[in-house]
Amino acid sequence: MKNSYFLLFIFLFLASCSTSNDNEQGQWIAYAPAGSEYVRIDKNGKTILPNGRFITPLGKQITTAPHPYGLILSPDGNIAVTANSGTSPFSITVIKNLLSENPIVQQIPEGAKTDEGILEAVFMGLAISPDNQTLYVAGGETNKVFIFDLNTNQKKGEINCAMKIENEDFTHGYLGDMILSKDGKTLYIVDQINFRLIIIDTEKQTLIANVPTGRYPFGIALSPDEKQAYVANVGVFEYKFLKDVDLKDLKNTSRPYASTGYNTKEMREGNDSLGIPPLGDPNAPEAFSIWAIDLAKKETTAKIKTGYLVGQKVEDFPTVGGSSPNSVVATDKYVFVSNGNNDCISVIDIKTNKVVKDIFLVLDERLGNLRGVIPFGLALSPDNKRLYVAEAGINAVGVIDVESLKLLGHLPVGWFPSKLKVSNDGKKLIVANAKGYGSGPNGGKDFQAGAEGSYIGALMKGTVSIFTIPQDIELENFTKQVVENNFKFEKITNPSEQAKKPTLNPIPLYSKYSESPIKYIVFISKENRTYDEVFAQNTNGKGDTTLARFGLNRTFANRKGDLKLSGVDVMPNHHALAKRFAMSDNFYCDSDVSADGHRWLVGTYPNEWVETSTAAAYGGKRSMRIDSKAKGNLAFVGAAGAIFPEDYNEAGSIWEHLDRNKIDFFNFGFGVEMGSALYSDSTLKYGGVKYIVNYPLPEPLFAKTSKIYPTYNMAIPDQFRVDIFKKEFEEKWLSTNKPLPQVLTIIIPNDHGARERPHAGFPFLESYMADNDLAIGRIVEYLSNTPYWKNMAIIITEDDPQGGRDHIDAHRSILMVISPYTKKNYVSHIHYSFGSIFKTFWHILGLPYLNQYDAGATDMSDMFTSEPDFTPYKALPIDKCLFDPQKALDPFNEKFDWKAFEESEEMDKVEDMQRRSKEEEQLSVPKNQEKKKQ
């Protein structure tokens, strides 16, 4: 960014959007446009998304399989193909007669499941031959390019890119973005985990060369003369196993805690005495960069850094995440690069390989310098006069004038636009929207499941928008529509006068507007539940009682059907807390699954790397392999409960935000579970997991996390977690004179559910819910009897909703607020999302916003009152036939070797989620059945 441009926006931010000073001219506040409306799909009007924003996509909408992250047009412009890296199925969608009134839509494979005999996997990359007859498809971790006949849609071959040459072993690869030469004879494709550009002779169907790239090459483009290739690298580090780790004896050789804090000296240089390999400089040429490759010489000619460097000072703090350059296009004058984390397009002079300008994708000046646009795909008009940008974070397309290098405006499209193309005549835009219209409901008395079932990942169908490109004179109105779709602004006049009101809500109207009586925030994360399956019976809320499988007076059986309980309250504490305090029936997780959920839960909105990786991982086709020789294999962490350097936003997560604003915090198990790069078993009662790779944690989190509290590990009962929490709470604060941190974060994860383990105290799936329920009750009872209770708010939510079903939307989930200052027996109908939680935190703590997602959400003040009730809470017991706490805790002594972990389920295993949903339907018993225990 040029200094003058940057200073302009600092001025605008301070003048019209500052949250730290009263401004008698008025104070702008942003809210979610949804207001008190519930999420809904309306293909003929405004669809309300789980984040409370609207989409009103232009033109015709064509449905595809989930998550179309790749898009290609045939040379004749008559066919579009999307690469769908969804949870189920992996597929390609072929749209023929594209610009006609009635396009023909065909899916390969045709069914709702991936057919491994046709298309085993797909990830982004697509190309079509000059004669419009042949389609090339990147096969992700199959390490193959699949070839299809576009006339018949039949597979006609494949090119295997696995090989061993000299000192390189490319047996395990992951193929992504690709581009075909104009004559169709040469195919260029990136291999993300081998850090290579593969060059293929399409006539001989053989590999010509492997050219080294930076880390995790993501996007590729050719210069107009096809002499140069430009590769965008979204990776930061080449991770390695810890030096002392024996892959055959992980339990005894892995580390009890994460290796280092991010960007510390120890992270960069390693630690030989602890066996920690160095990660090096996050600003190395291999990281967050564009590599220019001479295709004749097959060698790199330039390594160009775009966007902001890690640690570069922006506004008044150093950047945390790198630029995440992900997509590239080129004219004979410029190379354009989308920087996913910096909300800008870098312009590179094609002759000098120098960045000459950064074009910032500003939607509304009232948002100041907050990020969240997430630029992804790029497309040039045929005459190279216009550049179009898929703005994934605001569900829009940015329009840039290439001659002046200025942003002209924005066009509304579907949810999370990923890739886009311009028709051959330059008149129409074709946009792939990875999340389409959203999931909609996935259960209830009026829900009828299609072939894809009720699992949230399978319901997240994509769309392709096709529309005539508006004239420049129309852009102002369309930009206004995009603003209104994403944010509702309200101007508060004379704010200091309003702040003098005698009875203020405990949640300040904005940061530093007033002083909140709440001084301590306890943020509790749970796992995978929807609103309906726990709270549908609450008559104050909008629920479908047919889905209340974890509510009150339930009847259920185990998997075999030989053990059944009737008339049992599964989660009585949740219901008692809801009646005593406040909750929402209009709260939605921004996430679909745990991998993205744990990013959202720490204030990190997922960028293009996370979104594409998550969809592929949950389809079972993107995972770390112990036997892999690929340099980048260890970046595939699957359903991780942590954030990684490739994920970090420009401003970082809540950890950096709290730290740089001098807000003390302490963490219990939150954000430290690193997916498949861990060792876990039931004997690891302290910590819950052990670490095998040199992944760093965010530096503030590394220093302020419990070393003994168990993170995600389903073999450990939540009762043990509460015991550890109470022990540390008393040792650190109650029995000392040390002040309690203002923010505590805690994971209580066992409502995720796992396989039945009667010998361990879990005879039913519902037993895990009961364990979780009792733990929540106990922790609230404990905290409400401490001296801090009079100034405390406890916020409880789920990381994602994928384990359950809901009749409003598959993303609707649980949000409970427990405090002396909450309304009693209150269900708020105002729309909330994860951003609402953080916005409420920042208002209480007097902090600025972190990104556009919290700035544009609605805070939770509706659930609070200025009249406190300091009465402590008393936890309710659980039916011992359902869950016996002592039986679950008995094995936790030093000598007992409990093998239950081998029988429990992996985090977010899709097959288990789908199986449990079917079993629930089969085992359900009418709710009016006579109450009895069997």
The three state secondary structure string of 50-61 is CCCCEECCCCEE
What is the rounded average pLDDT for all residues in the chain?
A: 90
pLDDT at 748 over 80: yes
What is the structure's pLDDT at 90?
Answer: 81
pLDDT higher at 233 or 109 = 233
pLDDT in tens, 282-300: 999 999 999 999 999 999 9
- 527-536, 628-637, 662-671: lowest mean pLDDT where? 628-637
The mean pLDDT value for 305-321 works out to 94
What is the structure's pLDDT at 922?
Answer: 44
What is the structure's pLDDT at 381?
Answer: 98
pLDDT tier at 640 (50, 70, 90 boundaries)?
Answer: confident
What is the structure's pLDDT at 894?
Answer: 36
pLDDT tier at 618 (50, 70, 90 boundaries)?
Answer: confident
The mean pLDDT value for 250-260 works out to 91
What is the structure's pLDDT at 116?
Answer: 57
φ and ψ at residue 365, rounded to 5 degrees? -65, -20
The mean pLDDT value for 444-448 works out to 93
pLDDT tier at 267 (50, 70, 90 boundaries)?
Answer: very high
pLDDT in tens, 872-903: 999 999 999 999 998 888 877 633 333 333 34
What is the structure's pLDDT at 918?
Answer: 53
| Residue in 671, 667, 692 with CA at minimum distance from that of residue 256 | 692
What is the structure's pLDDT at 4?
Answer: 37
What is the structure's pLDDT at 177?
Answer: 98
pLDDT in tens, 896-924: 333 333 344 444 555 555 555 555 444 33
Please list, in sequence order, all residues whose beta carbon lies within 8 angstroms of the beta carbon of residue 892, skipping any fewer than 6 positions away. Answer: 685, 716, 720
pLDDT at 542 over 80: yes
pLDDT at 341 over 80: yes
What is the structure's pLDDT at 14?
Answer: 35
Domains assigned to the chain: 1-59+361-444+464-492 (2.40.10.500), 511-605+649-673+711-923 (3.40.720.10)
The mean pLDDT value for 532-537 works out to 98
pLDDT at 1 over 60: no
Distance of CA 44 to the CA centre of its chain: 28
| Peptide bond between residue 109 and the one before it cis (omega within 30 degrees of 0) | yes
Residue 224 is which amino acid? P
Packing angle of the helix pair 718-729, 765-783 (nearest 10 deg):
20
The mean pLDDT value for 757-783 works out to 96
How wide is the angle at C-alpha 828 spanned by C-alphas 824 and 833, nearest 5°? 130
pLDDT at 229 over 80: yes
What is the structure's pLDDT at 98?
Answer: 96
pLDDT tier at 615 (50, 70, 90 boundaries)?
Answer: confident
Distance CA 278, CA 256 (A): 19
pLDDT in tens, 573-587: 999 999 999 999 999
Distance CA 330, CA 229 (A): 10
pLDDT tier at 5 (50, 70, 90 boundaries)?
Answer: very low
- DSSP string across 785-826: TSTTGGGEEEEEEES--TTS--SS-TTB--EEEESTTBPTTE
pLDDT at 829 over 90: yes
Whole-model pTM: value is 0.93
What is the structure's pLDDT at 926?
Answer: 32
In the chain, pLDDT over 90 holds for what percent of residues? 80
| Residue in 298, 107, 106 with CA at minimum distance from that of residue 197 | 298
What is the structure's pLDDT at 619?
Answer: 73
